[in-house]
Structures are given as structure tokens and as C-alpha cells.
Structure 1
Amino acid sequence: MPQETIAIAADHAGFELKELLKAELAAGGYKPLDLGTAGPESVDYPDFADKLAAALKDGLALRGVLICGTGIGISIAANRHRHIRAAVCHDGTSAKLARLHNNANVLALGARLLGPEVAKDCLAAFLATAFEGGERHNRRVGKLS
């Protein structure tokens, strides 16, 4: 089975958590595609949301992870792209439901709001859960793009 590539990007507030989750991805058998940032120096989160959106559009990855201070700004920036369904998640349940019911293809996390263990739980649930599909979920998700 080929190794799935997961794109991951963060602004300066999310840099440390990005590095931790990048290691989690690799340990879980995924291939992380690190789209930056490369350090804690101040950067603009929309630039990294755009990089991740481009990577998904170009087929470099099917799913991604975005991290900023709250997860909110970077998810708003990502969701400006029609092919992105970014969900800000705060626990494993919200990450699971984002995949199950909304077919989210991007997990957005807030590094200033979540501890590392909760962030890992979110990532694990996001990666392990498939879209449930069905008439009502397909209809609703279809209206998003």
C-alpha cells in the first residue's frame, strides 16, 4: 500500500505544534509534506493556507493539517478555496465528525488552545475516519463547493 502524503503548514504560532505533528505523521506511516513555516519568526497565516490549498489542488496530497494560534484565521483563509473543507477542531470527537459528516479534507488546529496530546488525538481521529457519505451528507457537502 502506498504511503499517503499529508500536507502540513503553520504560521509562527503553530510552528512548534507543526513539528510535533509532523513527527506523529511519520511515525504513523504517513509522508508529511511540510509547507512551512520554518521557524518561530512572525509570518502571515494566509500565505500558508494558500500553500496548502495549492498542494491539495495540484494533487500533492489529498488531506492536510493547518495550524495557527487559534486555528480560526488559517481555516478562514483556507476555506476561501472552493476545493478546501477546513474544520477547526478542539478534540477527537470534533475531528471525527468533521470527516464523518462534512468530508473535511483539512484539519485546522489552534496551537495556543490545545495541548500536544489533544492535538495528537485530533490528528489521529481525522486520519482514521472516512466520510460517511449517504444522500444527506453528500447533498450538504456538495453545496459547499
Structure 2
Amino acid sequence: MIAIGCDHGGYELKQKILAHLRQRGVEYKDFGCDSTASVDYPVYGKAVAHAVASGECEKGIVICSTGIGISIAANKVPGIRCALCGDCFSAKATRLHNNANVLALGALVTGPGLALEIVDIFL
């Protein structure tokens, strides 16, 4: 199972990723947020990270406007190796060489088409 969460800046991209995961038959648990209303990214980054660190979920995806803040929040949880990826090579390399268990995406810096490719490679 994949844990996924975002702040308001990542909400629209998260919705596209969720549709993509459903289409591929990938099970996921959505930790929010549930709209574009302003929220604090650490709440959602840490929720996803705790789900992965506890073993509830195998991997995680976190999204904010840049991917930076939410990746920092996720990486504060022991056992989490969250990598911000904006290209396919980084997504593949971080899984192979760094054993990253959470993917961070920046919704304002990575378009939806590329983001879906990155998700597929990371998972």
C-alpha cells in the first residue's frame, strides 16, 4: 500500500496521481489534505512518513508547491528517506542507490505528465 499526502499547493496534482494509481490498480491510503484551502504541510508530510516508518504502508508520496518543505517534514521521522525528484533519472537512482521510501514532488515545478512518470518509476 502507498501512503499519499499533500498540502493545499499539492492538492490538484495529488488528485491526478490518485486517479493514475486507481487506473493502475495500486492500493493507497490518502492522508489529505482534501481541498485547496490553506493548511500546514508538516501535518501531512509527517502523517505519510509515520505510515511508512511504522510499516502500515510500503512507500509514500508527499506533495507541496515546491516539494521542499514537505520533504523536510517527512525526513524528520526516523527511518524515512524522502527524496525530492523532479526528473525520471533521479526517481530511478534514488530507489536503486539511496533506497528512498518516500517520494516528494513539487506541484508548481513538475508538470502532471512528468509527475506521473516519476511516480511510476519510483513505485
TM-score calculated relative to the size of structure 2: 0.97
Which stretch shifts more, 114-123 or 25-34? Answer: 25-34
Is 2:94 the counterpart of 1:101?
A: no
CA shift at 1:73, angstroms? Answer: 0.4
Map of 2:67 onto structure 1: 71
Q: Distance in 2 between matches of 1:29 and 1:92?
A: 21
CA distance in 1, matches of 2:50, 2:37: 23
Q: Say if 2:115 is the partner of 1:125.
A: no
Separation in structure 2 between the aligned mates of residue 60 and residue 21 of structure 1, nearest angstrom? 20
Moved over 3 A (4+): none
Paired residues, number: 123
Distance (Å, rounded) in 2 between the aligned partners of 1:27 and 1:83: 30
RMSD of aligned alpha carbons: 0.8
The structural deviation recorded for 1:16 is: 0.5
C-alpha distance in 2 between matches for 1:8 and 1:61: 10
- Unaligned segments of structure 2, at least 5 residues: none
Q: 1:60 aligns with which of 56, 59, 73?
A: 56
Give, in whole Å, the separation in 2 of the partners of 1:124 and 1:73.
23
Per the TM alignment, residue 56 of structure 1 is displaced from its structure 2 partner at its CA by 1.5
Q: Which of the residues 106, 110, 113 maps onto 2:109?
A: 113
The residue correspondences of 1:1-145 to structure 2 (distance < 5 A) are: 5-127=1-123
**Considering only CA atoms, is the larger Rg found in Structure 1 or Structure 2?**
1
In the alignment, the residues of structure 2 paired with residue 91 and residue 120 of structure 1 have an alpha-carbon distance, to the nearest angstrom, of 11
What is the identity, as a one-letter code, of the residue corresponding to 2:11? F
Conserved? CA contact 2:31–2:47, under 8 Å: yes
Provide, for residues 17-53 of structure 1, a one-character-per-residue CA deviation record: whole Å limited to 9, x for no partner.
0011011112112112100000000000000011112
For normalisation by structure 1, the TM-score amounts to: 0.82
Shift of 1:59: 2.1
Q: What are the superposed Cα offsets for residues 63-86 of structure 1, whole Å, 9 maximum, x if unpaired?
A: 000000000000011111121100
Highest RCO, 1 vs 2 (Cα 8 Å, sep ≥ 6): 2
Partner-residue secondary structure (3-state), 1:43:
coil
